[in-house]
Amino acid sequence: MKKLMQAFVAIVIVSALLLVAINRLNASAGYSGDNTLTVYNWGDYIDEELIEQFEEETGITIIYETFDSNEAMMTKIEQGGTSYDVAVPSEYTIEKMIEQDLLIELDHSKLPNLENIDERFMDLAFDPGNKYSVPYFWGTVGIVYNKEMLGDMTFSSWDDLWNPSLENEILLVDGAREVIGMGLNSLGYSLNDTNKDHLQEATEKLKTLTPNIKAIVGDENKLLMANEEAAVALVWSGDASEIMFENENLDYAVPEEGSNLWFDNMVIPSTARNVDGAHQFINFMLDAEVAAQNTEYVSYSTPNKEALKLMPEDMVKDERFYPSPELTEKLEVYENLGKENLSYYNDLFLEFKMYRK
Ligand code: SPD
């Protein structure tokens, strides 16, 4: 009887240990159960205190992973190895994900804080009725530059980047649409151009910028600019805003030929395992106080009109980062150009990168 009891106790202990190990393995592989939520976001795109706050308020543990391009994010979701519950793609990628059945429809009744979002950012062409996505941050693509290092140089035109005095001074964001788009814009073409001759012409023009390019980088661009290791960078507006708080010699401009207006929205991928938790997380991020804290930390532009009321006036009134609707109407939103055209953009970007080596 004693032996039987010992065997029973041993089985109970081994089973408990196995359960703990399985849970740990699941968590590290990103398998969300009821009590975990796997969030997939751009790097440097959340105040991590808010993750803790959400965990405390809901008892849900967040597994947080980051990506640095829409393309990398989408490939990972398509592969399906990790069950992401929430992701934050940009508009043209959202359109592509809807088309490929990679997103689930949102239940708006679980997102009461959606009323905090400015109408201007709702119901956009890439997701009519916000069936699949809700606004997180938005912005433009432009040039951040160091006034002290460059004297009276300004950047009203993309062509200003080709000034020979900028030799080895320019950082480019590591994004195919942004860089090829800059080439297209500088030639007066649309950011959504799919004419192969135009795209080739833009790439050839970009190759002539090579002597001025210091590096093609991700989030490191902020440190390099803040530390004055480069004088100019092609960036997403929020990155400029963040480093301008750190270095007062920096300024931000959107060239007059035009540029990109972009939107990053929260979605629930079709692989999600914790759909209810995903709605809770999205609703939490839409809360006015949470969005204000997140915006002050991340420095990107918030679409949350109630959050804006809680933020410092100098931030909200800065037209460089909160351009008026009249200004944004002149900018172009990336469209989903289809698989073939998008891979042509990626191939040209690679060709341009290889040319530099
Ligand atoms: N470090 C956060 C970067 C977020 C950039 N999103 C902009 C995407 C524009 N297509």
CA of 180 to the centre of ligand 1 (A): 16
Read off the pTM: 0.89
Domain co-membership, 329 together with 208: yes
Q: Hey, what's the torsion of the CAs at 73, 79, 82, 87, to 10 degrees?
A: 30
Nearest CA to ligand 1 atom 3: 42
Q: Are residues 185 and 309 in the same domain?
A: no
pLDDT at position 24, please? 42
Do 344 and 217 share a structural domain? yes
Q: What's residue 19's pLDDT?
A: 42
Q: Residues with beta carbon inside 6 Å of ligand 1?
A: 42-45, 90, 219, 236, 262, 264
Q: What is the Å distance from ligand 1's center to 270 Cα?
A: 22
Q: Would you say residue 119 lies in a domain?
A: yes
What is the radius of gyration, based on Cα positions, of the chain? 23
Which residue type occupies 188?
G
State the helix-helix crossing angle for 48-58 and 288-298, rounded to 10 degrees.
Answer: 150
What is the spatial distance between Cα 84 and Cα 274, in angstroms, rounded to a whole number? Answer: 9
Tell me, yes or no, whether 126 and 196 share the same domain: no
Please check whether residues 186 and 220 belong to one and the same domain.
yes
Judge if 293 and 212 occupy the same domain.
no
- Name the percent of the chain lying above pLDDT 70: 90
Are 121 and 50 contained in the same domain? yes
Q: Are residues 87 and 202 in the same domain?
A: no
Tokens at 346, concatenated = 């990626």
User: Is 206 within the bounds of a domain?
Assistant: yes
User: Is residue 18, in this structure, part of any structural domain at all?
Assistant: yes
| Cβ–Cβ < 8 Å for 53, 287 | no
The pLDDT of residue 356 is 76
Q: What is the DSSP letter of 41?
A: E
| Average pLDDT of every residue of the chain | 92
| Mutate-to-test residue for ligand 1 from 90, 95, 342, 349, highest number of ligand atoms within 8 A of CB | 90
Quote the tokens at residue 81. Answer: 């190895």
Same domain, yes or no: 159 and 74: no
The answer to whether residues 217 and 287 belong to one domain is no
**CATH code where residue 101 lies:** 3.40.190.10
Do 213 and 275 fall within a single domain? no
Q: Is the dihedral of CA 36, 75, 78, 268 positive or negative?
A: positive
Q: For 163-189, write each residue's pLDDT tens digit.
A: 999 999 999 999 999 999 999 999 999
Question: What pLDDT band is residue 13 in, cutting at 50, 70 and 90?
Answer: low
Structure-token pair, residue 315: 């931030």
Tokens for 332, please give them: 């172009």
| 27 — pLDDT class (breaks 50, 70, 90) | very low
Residue 1: inside a domain: no
Measured distance CA(18)–CA(297) in Å, rounded: 40
Query: Are 334 and 185 in contact, with CB atoms under 8 Å apart?
Result: no
Is 90 within 8 Å of 263 (Cβ atoms)?
A: yes
Element (H, E) at 71: helix 70-79
Taking only the tens place, the pLDDT of each residue in 71-107 is: 999 999 999 989 999 999 999 999 999 999 999 999 9
What is the token pair recorded at 127?
């997701």
Domain count, the chain: 2
The average pLDDT across 138-157 equals 96
Domain extent, residue 110, equals 11-137+263-316
Same domain as 308, residue 330? no
CA of 135 from ligand 1 middle (Å) equals 13
Q: Give the residue whose CA is nearest to atom 6 of ligand 1.
A: 264
Taking the C-alpha atoms of residue 177 and residue 190, their distance in angstroms, rounded to an integer, is: 12
CA–CA gap between residue 149 and residue 158 (Å, rounded) = 19
Res. 344: pLDDT tops 50: yes
Strand, coil or helix: 144: strand
196 vs 198: CA distance, rounded Å: 5
Cα-Cα-Cα-Cα torsion 131, 132, 133, 134, nearest 10 degrees, comes to: 40
Ligand 1 mean position, distance from CA 97 (Å): 17
- Whether 4 is in a domain gets the answer no
For residue 255, count CB atoms less than 10 angstroms from its CB and return exposed for 0-12, middle for 13-18, buried for 19 or more: buried
Q: 227 Cβ partners below 8 Å, 6+ apart?
A: none
